[in-house]
Amino acid sequence: MEAPETGKVRKVGELAAASGLTVRTLHYYEQIGLLVPAERTEAGHRLYSDSDIERLYRIDLLRRLGLSLADIGKALDDPAWNLKAALGAHVRELERRLDQERRLHSRLAHLLATLGSTHGELTDDLLTILEEMTMLDTNAQRRISTLVYADPETAYDFLKRVFGFGPGQLTRDEAGHVVHGELQAGDGVVWLHLESAEFELSSPRSLGAATACVSVLVDDVDGHFERTKRNGALIVYPPRDQPYGYREYSARDCEGHLWSFMKAID
Amino acid sequence: MEAPETGKVRKVGELAAASGLTVRTLHYYEQIGLLVPAERTEAGHRLYSDSDIERLYRIDLLRRLGLSLADIGKALDDPAWNLKAALGAHVRELERRLDQERRLHSRLAHLLATLGSTHGELTDDLLTILEEMTMLDTNAQRRISTLVYADPETAYDFLKRVFGFGPGQLTRDEAGHVVHGELQAGDGVVWLHLESAEFELSSPRSLGAATACVSVLVDDVDGHFERTKRNGALIVYPPRDQPYGYREYSARDCEGHLWSFMKAID
DNA sequence: TTGCTCCTCACGTCACGTGAGGTGGC
DNA sequence: TTGCTCCTCACGTCACGTGAGGTGGC
């Protein structure tokens, strides 16, 4: 949405074009009392004032967060309404839905792979497969990558600052030493783990090599690269189009873990 | 749904109780022509036959895959209807939605973390934060764990067979050597990478230690453990309730990568 | 006679899309 | 006069939930 020109009233079509919404949507917002234009012409045409436009801008912002129009109305008009609480409830609802959809997706992916060569009509064979698939629930649901660090506290700050991950948290023992770290990265979480002789886990800095790496899909590979470079990470190679269909760059974190950031080309 | 008793007709209430659906739902299925009971009593009560019950079972199966009632009707009644194609379209639609929801979730999580201490009403401050949040799109979207193997082909089979991952695929060069592997594991994909001196990537078997591990959330930890054990993986420790709120067991794969399978307690 | 199940309308849901039929301003 | 925009109904969406008001069988 472009910056509103002050002092100008707009008709519904102009506002629709400027906001990317449809005329019908603006009609509807008036109908439910969410955005009632300040005036009408004699012929009944809607005239939106500056403050109407400002209000629409806020509506649009909250819509993008997935709030219902009813909740948006309350957030804008009821001073006692706690937006943070509403967003919290909303995010939990979203997580519930995501969990369901991930399960469903896992089942469907398995199913389609199993179907592989069959013709595609609903035969008894296919029904048997379906049945087994639907019952099957020893399925993996989510994946958490754990990376080993000698100094997880420094690593935590590095990953937040340089790669832009987060939110997350550090867990400490009674003595105040960090024993565990968690950071949001993409669609899930990355755990930071201490080195451990018992489990044969070491930082790449100690070993001189890594046994795993993490690739992260981002929307703007070059933008992310600029940020990483500016923040002083060791660049392994700058963004380039790879033959396997991704634009990708690669960098090391403070203890030598290899990260790559990529986006599918078209 | 329990196994249908043959030869018995059922009234709508009995069928509802047996199937876990509501009476209203069965009425609705009749209304749209999806499931019309074979008979009615003189008083107009619905009587469902064995084949009606069988049909309802199939409807229920396809519903669990997220198909619309319209598509289910076609799958059951139109012999030319290609169920596989419909499921393919459906899974792509689901992936699109998942992608959107992951982005939204990432934004909301960041936002709530930023809101942290503020009171929760919609102030100008909060609006500014919202605005920056919504614009911000250098955000990470998905994470792919890459594990390094000396012999990715054997590892691929191991992960499929022992841990139950998949579907996936192997990529080979002209000489037929595996250069890359991908396997579905939980909400995303795991890549198998060859050892590489250039990038300082080695298998844990070569190094004698690992720099990362992968945790996978499953629904049935003990069931998964039994399967893993039966298939002969090296168990690091059997399922136990951990102080950090997960029931978890841990095992090594064929090249010594450490995996743990867990579920949140309650 | 009293519960219980059964029946058929019919409205509501959420955020609009999509016409239908008609008017006002450049 | 011709387009274009504007207006107000009003139905449709998807899969039911939730009454309202009434009947039939044990």
Residue A121 pLDDT > 80: no
- Going by pLDDT thresholds of 50, 70 and 90, the confidence category of residue A5 is low
Predicted confidence at residue B32, as pLDDT, reads: 96
Q: Please report, as a single letter, which amino acid is at residue B53.
A: I
Predicted confidence at residue B251, as pLDDT, reads: 98
> Mean pLDDT, chain A, as a whole number?
90
Nearest Cα to Cα of residue A128 among B61, B5, B203: B61
Q: Which residue of A lies nearest to B237 if distances are taken between CA atoms? A: A199
Name every residue whose Cβ is closer than 8 Å to that of residue A247 and which is 6 or more positions away in sequence: A221, A239, A240, A241, A262, A263, A265
Backbone angles phi, psi at A180, to 5 degrees: -165, 145
- Facing B94 at nearest CB: one of A58, A108, A257: A108
Predicted confidence at residue A239, as pLDDT, reads: 98
Residue A83 pLDDT > 90: no
Nucleotides of chain D touched by protein CB (<7 A): 5-8, 10, 14-18, 23-25
Tell if the CB–CB gap between A186 and B120 is shorter than 8 Å: no
- Facing A83 at nearest CB: one of B108, B121, B218: B121
Of all nucleotides, the one whose C1′ comes closest to residue A69's CA is C15
- Facing B200 at nearest CB: one of A185, A203, A209: A209
How close, in Å, is residue A41 to chain B by CA atoms? Answer: 32
Q: Which helix (H) or strand (E) holds B215?
A: strand B212-218
- Facing A88 at nearest CB: one of B112, B127, B142: B112
Higher pLDDT, B148 or A137: B148
Tell if the CB–CB gap between B102 and A97 is shorter than 8 Å: no
* pLDDT single digits (tens) A151-168: 999 999 999 999 999 889
With beta carbons under 8 A apart, name residues in chain A contacting B244.
Answer: 180
Name every residue whose Cβ is closer than 8 Å to that of residue B69 and which is 6 or more positions away in sequence: B29, B32, B34, B63
Predicted confidence at residue B113, as pLDDT, reads: 83
Predicted confidence at residue B137, as pLDDT, reads: 59
Residue A253 pLDDT > 90: yes
With beta carbons under 8 A apart, name residues in chain B contacting A137.
Answer: 219-220
Query: Is residue B4 classed as helix, strand or coil in its secondary structure?
Result: coil
Predicted confidence at residue B110, as pLDDT, reads: 83
Distance B67 CA to D17 C1' (A): 21
Tell if the CB–CB gap between B258 and A215 is shorter than 8 Å: no
Of all nucleotides, the one whose C1′ comes closest to residue A14's CA is D5
Query: Is residue B51 classed as helix, strand or coil in its secondary structure?
Result: helix
Show pLDDT as tens, one digit a residue, over chain B (266 residues): 545 556 688 999 999 999 999 999 999 999 999 999 999 999 999 999 999 999 999 999 999 999 999 999 999 998 888 888 889 999 999 999 998 898 888 888 888 887 776 666 667 777 787 777 766 655 767 899 999 999 999 999 999 999 999 889 999 999 999 999 999 988 889 999 999 999 999 999 999 999 999 999 998 999 999 999 999 999 999 999 999 899 999 999 999 999 999 999 98
* pLDDT single digits (tens) A24-67: 999 999 999 999 999 999 999 999 999 999 999 999 999 999 99
Predicted confidence at residue B79, as pLDDT, reads: 84
Q: Which residue of A lies nearest to B57 if distances are taken between CA atoms? A: A131
Cα A56 to Cα A7, A26, A36, A136, B8: the distances in Å are: 16, 9, 10, 47, 60
Residue A246 pLDDT > 90: yes
**Rounded to an integer, what distance in angstroms lies between the CA atom of residue A157 and that of residue A159?**
6
* pLDDT single digits (tens) A213-223: 999 999 899 99
Q: Which long-range contacts (CB under 8 A, 24 or more apart) does A86-89 make?
A: A87/B108, A87/B111, A87/B112, A87/B115, A88/B112
With beta carbons under 8 A apart, name residues in chain A contacting B193.
Answer: 213
**Rounded to an integer, what distance in angstroms lies between the CA atom of residue B71 and that of residue B82?**
10
Show the tokens assigned to B194.
């060859």
Contact predicate A36/A77, CB 8 Å: no
Q: Please report, as a single letter, which amino acid is at residue A16.
A: A
Predicted confidence at residue A6, as pLDDT, reads: 64
| Residue B197: CA count within 13 A, CB half-sphere | 0
Contact predicate B45/B11, CB 8 Å: yes
Residue B91 CB: number of other CB atoms within 10 A? 19
Cα B36 to Cα B42, B43, B52, B64, B265: the distances in Å are: 16, 17, 8, 21, 44
**Rounded to an integer, what distance in angstroms lies between the CA atom of residue B51 and that of residue B56?**
9
Backbone region of residue A234 per phi and psi (left: phi > 0; alpha: psi in -120 to 50; beta: other values) = beta
Cα B8 to Cα B4, B15, B124, B135: the distances in Å are: 9, 11, 67, 62
Predicted confidence at residue A118, as pLDDT, reads: 67
Query: Is residue B139 classed as helix, strand or coil in its secondary structure?
Result: coil
Q: What is the mean pLDDT of residues A104-132?
A: 78
Nearest Cα to Cα of residue A100 among B47, B92, B97: B97
CB of A14 within 7 Å of some strand D atom: yes
Predicted confidence at residue A138, as pLDDT, reads: 55
Predicted confidence at residue B140, as pLDDT, reads: 66
How close, in Å, is residue B229 to chain A by CA atoms? Answer: 14
Predicted confidence at residue B118, as pLDDT, reads: 67
